Amino acid sequence: MKGCQPLFSGTRRSPSVFRSAMSFFSSCAAALAVASPATALSWEQPRGVQQYGTFFGLPGQNATYDYVVVGGGTAGLTVASRLAENRSLSVAVVEPGTFSEISNGNNSQVPAYSYSSVSGDGEYVNPWIDWELNTVPQPQLQGNTLLYAQGKGLGGSSIRNQMIYQRGSRGSYDYWAAQVGDDSYRWDNMRQFFDKSVHVTAHNNSLRVANASVTDYAVTASLQTGGPLQVSWSNFAMPFSSWGLKALFAAGMPRLSNFFSDGNLHGAAYNPSTIDPKYQTRSSSESSFLQQAIESGSSLTVYPMTQAMEILFDDDKRATGVRVQSVGRNYTLSVEKEVILSAGVMHSPQLLMVSGVGPRKTLEENGIQVVADRPGVGQNMHDSCNAGGVTFPVSVISTAIRQRDAEYEARAEEQFNTNGTGILTNTGGDVLSFEKLPEAYRSQLSNGTRERLAEWPDDWPETEYVLSSSGSTLEGASATEQNYVDIGILLVGALSRGNLTIQSGSMHDKPVISTNWLLDEADQEVAVQSYRRIREFWSHVNITTGPEESPRTNVSTDADLLDFIKGAVSPIHHATSTCMMGRVNETMAVVDSMARVFGVKGLRVIDSSSFRFTPPGHTQAATYAHAEKLAEDIKRSLSGE
C-alpha cells in the first residue's frame, strides 16, 4: 500500500473517530443550513453569537471571547481545553484544518501508516493535513531542498507524527530554568505537567513474542489515572528490534527500565507511543483533549478550516483580537483577556511578523507597520536532524513485506480489525537509544568540538539511535524481495541554528525556512563518529544476509562519510525556539517565562516555538507538558496567585 490508504471494509475504529466525524458533519450542516426554531437546539453563545447544537463557531460572524487560541494543534488544544475547564471563561480555537479522521482516514489512525506522514518523500504529502513547507536550498547539504512536514488539522502534528512519547533529560530542564531565570522549569517542577497529560497503560506482553517482552517498566498509579492522552506500547514488536537491542547492549549501551520518563535517557529500550491500547489507534490532542472538552460540555468553541490572518493591536499595543478568514469570509474574533498563539514553530513567528512583531528591517521591507521591534522572531531555530543511518539486509521481516506480499497485508488488516494485533499496530520503529559518544569515538573529535559539546548539561546525549524496520535509509528497498532494516542517527545535541522569515505580509504565502542542519562543523564531526559507532553495533548483529547496503563499506574515510551524510540528512521534525523564551534583557528573546510576548500586551506564544531549545529526543511529550504548565500559569494568574 502506498500513499493514502482506503478505509478497510469493516474497519475497527475507535469511538472518537465516529464522534469526530459525526460532530463534524452535523455541525457543518447546522452552521450552513437555516435551522428551524421548532427543531433546532439553540442557545446564545458568548457575546451574542448564536449556534445550533454545535461547538463550532459560525464563519463570517464577528464574536468576542475571553481567550482566542490561534492553532488547534498539540499545544493549542491542550491549553484551550484546560482553560475551558473553567465554565466562566469563553475560549475559541482557530484552526486552518479539520478532523484528520475525515481528511486523512486510516493514515492518521493506524500506527503502521504513520511513516507516510513523516516521510520526506513528497509523493506521500496530503495537503489536507500538511502545510507542504520546503526549506530553501541548503548549501551545506549539497544544495538540497527538503520537505518539512508540519501538521495541519485539529491535533496539529500529533495527528501525523510517529507517536513516540519520550521525555527530555533532567539536566536539560534544569538548564532551561537557569537560562530563563525561572525555577518552575526545573525537572522536579516540570514532572507534574508531564504526568498531568497522560494515561499510561502497561505493556501487554501476552500479545508480543517472548524475546520482545517489555520488562521492568513500572507504571505508577499517578500515570494510570492522569490526563486524556493515551500512552502505551504496540501489541507487536518488530522482529529486528530484539536483535538490535542485543547488539546495542553488547556494544556497551545500558538497558533502561524507566521507559524514558524519569529524566535519564542514557541507554536503550522499547519506547512507548501515543497509542490508545483499547484499539491500538493513534491518540492525538484532538482525540484526547478536544474530545474530552466536547464531551464534558466545556466552554470551548472551535473554528475549523479558518486561517488567522493578523493579530490586531490597539494604540496601547494590547492584542485585541484576531482577523480571521474562512470559506472566503473575513471577520474578527475579539478578546476580553488574551490572544494565545499556538500556530506551531513555523507559523507562530510568521503570524507575529505579519502582525507587526518582529525584526524591524524585515517588517519594513514587507510594508508592515512595526508594532514591536523583536529581532529574535523567526531566529534561533533549534532542531535535531536525521543524519541517515546504516542499512543491512536481514533474515527477519521488515515493513517491506506489506508492500510485496498481498496475503500478508490482508492478514495484517484482519488482525488489526479483529483484535488490535499484528504489524499494523507498530510504527516500524519501536526501540530508542541515547548516548554521549564513548571515548573511543569522542577522542576523534577536535578540541573545539569537544569544548562546544561540553556546553550542554552532563546528562544531555549527543546522539540518538533509532532501530527502524522500514528500510527507510535505502531508496526503493520496500519494492525488493529483501528485508532491509537500519539503525538511524538523530543528532540530539545539535549546535547548528536555523531561521525563518516572511516573503510578504500575507499568511497565504509560505514562510521562508532555512534549517541550517550541519552548518556547525561540530555537528558534522559528531555525525561522522556516530556512523562509526553504528557500524560497531552492526558487528554484533548475526541475522544479516549480506554486506552493508548503505552507505556501503567503501565509504570509510571521514571525508567520504561526511559527503554521504550531507546527502542523507532529512527532517525529524523537532524544530523549536523560533519565538525563543528568555529574559527581558535578552535581545533575541521573544517571550518571557510565562510565554508573554515582549513589547506588547495580552499576547502569549504557547507551542514549541516558545521553547528555550529542543530538549534531547522527541518533542511531543515536551510540547504537551509545556502547554499544561503555561495553562496552569494562566489559571493561577486569574485567581490572583
Q: Is 490 helix (H, G, I), strand (E, B) or coil?
A: strand
Q: Which of 587, 565, 569, 620 is nearest to 159 (CA)?
A: 620
Q: Which residue in 199, 347, 382, 574 is the catalytic one?
A: 574
CA atoms within 13 A on the CB side of 244: 30
With cell 521488515, the residue in question is 398
Active site residue 574: yes
Distance CA 372, CA 351 (A): 13
Cα–Cα distances (Å) from 167 to 45, 259, 287, 437, in that order, read: 39, 9, 21, 20
Q: At what angle do helices 170-180 and 187-197 cross, to 10 degrees?
A: 110
As a dihedral over the C-alpha atoms of residue 197, residue 203, residue 204, residue 207, rounded to 10 degrees, the angle is: 110
Region of residue 321 (phi > 0: left; psi between -120 and 50: alpha; otherwise: beta): left
Distance CA 466, CA 486 (A): 8
- At residue 252's C-alpha, the angle toward residues 250 and 257, to 5°, is 95
Count of CB atoms situated within 10 Å of the CB of 535: 15
Distance CA 449, CA 558 (A): 15
The alpha carbon of residue 546 and the mean position of all alpha carbons in its chain are separated, in whole angstroms, by 36
Active site residue 199: no
For 226-276, the DSSP string reads S-SEEEB--SS--HHHHHHHHHHHHTTPPBP-STT-SS--BEEEEPPBSEE
Measured in residues, the chain has a length of 641
With cell 524507566, the residue in question is 258
Q: % helix / strand / coil in the chain, to the nearest 5?
A: 35, 20, 45
Q: What are the backbone angles phi and psi of residue 371, rounded to the nearest 5°?
A: -95, -45
- Residues facing 465 on adjacent strands: 433, 489
Cβ atoms of 171 and 613 closer than 8 Å: no
Distance CA 302, CA 585 (A): 37
Distance CA 370, CA 373 (A): 7
Q: Which residue in 199, 203, 382, 618 is the catalytic one?
A: 618
Query: Residue 302 is inside which H or E element, if any?
Result: strand 300-303
Where are the strands (E) in 499-629, listed by range? 499-501, 512-514, 570-571, 603-605
Distance CA 274, CA 491 (A): 23
Q: Active-site positions?
A: 574, 618
